[in-house]
């Protein structure tokens, strides 16, 4: 039901201007400027990268099911019933718990590390060192090895800390969600339940289990980050990682050069990249950096013209906007406006 709700919401916001593939890229967290920009323009930032395991096929199946139940039209626009359904279930869907754009990279790392850490410490405390790690991706194992060396001398106290902090944090969730969270954890002679088992125990769809989990992880991260003094045990799991804001490494490099006052053309030359690629980076930067000097690239008049056109045409489709503004205005300028000015004005 949660996945269905998310798909309906995406379709509602996309209003037929994007295909199901765009929904897939959004949930999957595709590292392309188009996807990130979509998430801003259509106000779907919170869903960016929240479901990395999802397949295109699953999305197609679910969308067709929604069409079959008359919640979506054949063009994937929510019907009146679909909109009603979203409103009615607002309390259950808890979309506000997601913050994909902010936590899409850190959430899976935090989740994996937390699961392995609890399993390792509880086993180590019982002097039981032959257990099969539930997370066995090399980077997480490597982190665990080093981290364990640091904390093993006070593992009992550290476990107590995790216990107190999790007890506090899980209190923010429904009883069901808190139970699900605890059931997933592995410890000494206890193996966490699989997604399938959780879906059966709590009568939720199998495809919703990862979403419910990641929603809780996002909430925990937001509390821990804004309040790290009160959650030292959990915060230190991820204190070695910067929560990356810019999505691609390449954009980060462009960002650094812009800060040294190089122009887009100069950067393209220095980095031996196409000018359009640099423009992509700049739009990407503008999406995250509220201090981005949009007016340096688009004059106030041009901005107004673009915004008026968007409002008049009721569209965010680039091509349509381009055809209806002064031909001197470039695609880059439209995208920049869509990413920054229009977006923030709409929200105010």
Neighbours of 335 (CB within 10 A): 24
Residue 207 makes contact with another protein by CB under 8 A = no
**Which member of 12, 95, 188, 262 binds another protein (CB under 8 A)?**
188
CB of 191 to another protein, least distance (A): 4
**Which member of 96, 200, 304, 323 binds another protein (CB under 8 A)?**
200
CB of 178 to another protein, least distance (A): 4
Q: Alpha carbon of 251 to those of 48, 273, 281: distances in Å?
A: 18, 12, 5
CB of 257 to another protein, least distance (A): 31
CB of 108 to another protein, least distance (A): 14
Q: Alpha carbon of 260 to those of 252, 254, 266, 316, 333: distances in Å?
A: 13, 10, 11, 32, 22
Residue 192 makes contact with another protein by CB under 8 A = yes
Residue 178 makes contact with another protein by CB under 8 A = yes
CB of 212 to another protein, least distance (A): 14
Can you state the angle between helices 275-288 and 33-41, rounded to 10 degrees? 40
**Look-up of token digits 């754009």:** 101
**Which member of 12, 31, 125, 253 binds another protein (CB under 8 A)?**
125
By beta-carbon proximity to another protein, the closer residue of 165 and 280 is 165
Residue 31 makes contact with another protein by CB under 8 A = no
Residue 169 makes contact with another protein by CB under 8 A = no
Residue 56 makes contact with another protein by CB under 8 A = no
Neighbours of 153 (CB within 10 A): 9
With CB under 8 A as the contact rule, which of the stretches 191-199, 310-318, 326-334, 338-346 interacts with another protein? 191-199
With CB under 8 A as the contact rule, which of the stretches 37-45, 92-100, 128-136, 282-290 interacts with another protein? 128-136
Cα three-residue angle 93-95-100, rounded to 5 degrees: 140
Residue 295 makes contact with another protein by CB under 8 A = no
Judge whether 221 and 110 are in contact, CB under 8 Å: yes
Residue 156 makes contact with another protein by CB under 8 A = yes
**Look-up of token digits 């982190």:** 143
**Which member of 26, 93, 101, 162 binds another protein (CB under 8 A)?**
162
Residue 312 makes contact with another protein by CB under 8 A = no
Residue 172 makes contact with another protein by CB under 8 A = no
Is the Cα dihedral 255, 266, 284, 280 positive or negative? negative
Residue 304 makes contact with another protein by CB under 8 A = no
Which residues make beta-bridge pairs with 72? 78
Q: Alpha carbon of 227 to those of 21, 231, 236: distances in Å?
A: 37, 7, 12
CB of 313 to another protein, least distance (A): 43
- Per-residue tokens: 99: 């913050």
Cα–Cα distance measured from residue 67 to residue 62, given in angstroms and rounded to the nearest whole number: 9
**Look-up of token digits 């937390």:** 114
With CB under 8 A as the contact rule, which of the stretches 94-102, 170-178, 266-274, 280-288 interacts with another protein? 170-178
Q: Alpha carbon of 139 to those of 135, 146, 187, 249: distances in Å?
A: 10, 11, 21, 19
Site size for another protein (CB under 8 A):
38
Residue 84 makes contact with another protein by CB under 8 A = no
CB of 250 to another protein, least distance (A): 21
Q: DSSP string spanning 242-256?
A: ----SS-HHHHHHHH
Residue 196 makes contact with another protein by CB under 8 A = yes
Judge whether 339 and 287 are in contact, CB under 8 Å: yes
Cα–Cα distance measured from residue 144 to residue 136, given in angstroms and rounded to the nearest whole number: 10
Q: How many CA atoms lie within 13 A of 158 on its CB side?
A: 22
Note the residues at the interface with another protein (CB under 8 A): 118, 122, 125-126, 129-134, 136, 156, 159-160, 162-163, 166-167, 170, 175, 178-179, 181-183, 185, 187-197, 200
């Amino acid at each position: 039901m949660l996945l269905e709700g998310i798909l309906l919401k995406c379709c509602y916001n996309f209003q037929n201007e994007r295909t199901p593939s765009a929904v897939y890229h959004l949930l999957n967290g595709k590292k392309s400027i188009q996807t990130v920009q979509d998430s801003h323009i259509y106000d779907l930032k919170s869903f960016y990268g929240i479901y990395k395991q999802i397949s295109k096929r699953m999305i197609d199946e679910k969308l067709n099911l929604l069409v079959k139940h008359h919640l979506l039209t054949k063009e994937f626009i929510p019907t009146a019933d679909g909109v009603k359904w979203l409103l009615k279930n607002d309390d259950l869907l808890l979309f506000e718990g997601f913050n994909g754009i902010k936590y899409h990279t850190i959430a899976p790392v935090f989740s994996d590390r937390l699961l392995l850490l609890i399993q390792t410490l509880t086993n180590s405390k019982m002097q039981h060192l032959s257990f099969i790690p539930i997370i066995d991706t090399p980077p997480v194992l490597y982190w665990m090895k080093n981290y364990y060396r640091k904390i093993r001398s006070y593992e009992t106290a550290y476990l107590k800390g995790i216990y107190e902090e999790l007890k506090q944090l899980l209190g923010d969730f429904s009883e069901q969600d808190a139970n699900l969270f605890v059931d997933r954890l592995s410890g000494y002679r206890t193996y966490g339940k699989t997604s399938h088992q959780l879906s059966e125990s709590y009568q939720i769809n199998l495809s919703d289990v990862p979403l419910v989990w990641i929603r809780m992880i996002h909430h925990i991260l937001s509390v821990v980050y804004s309040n790290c003094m009160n959650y030292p045990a959990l915060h230190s799991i991820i204190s070695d990682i910067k929560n990356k804001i810019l999505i691609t490494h390449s954009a980060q490099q462009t960002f650094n050069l812009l800060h040294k006052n190089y122009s887009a053309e100069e950067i393209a030359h220095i980095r031996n990249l196409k000018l359009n690629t640099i423009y992509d980076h700049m739009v990407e930067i503008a999406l995250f950096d509220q201090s981005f000097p949009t007016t340096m690239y688009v004059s106030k008049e041009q901005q107004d013209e673009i915004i008026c056109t968007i409002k008049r045409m009721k569209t965010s489709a680039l091509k349509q906007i381009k055809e209806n503004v002064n031909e001197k205005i470039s695609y880059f300028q439209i995208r920049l406006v869509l990413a920054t000015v229009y977006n923030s004005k709409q929200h105010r």
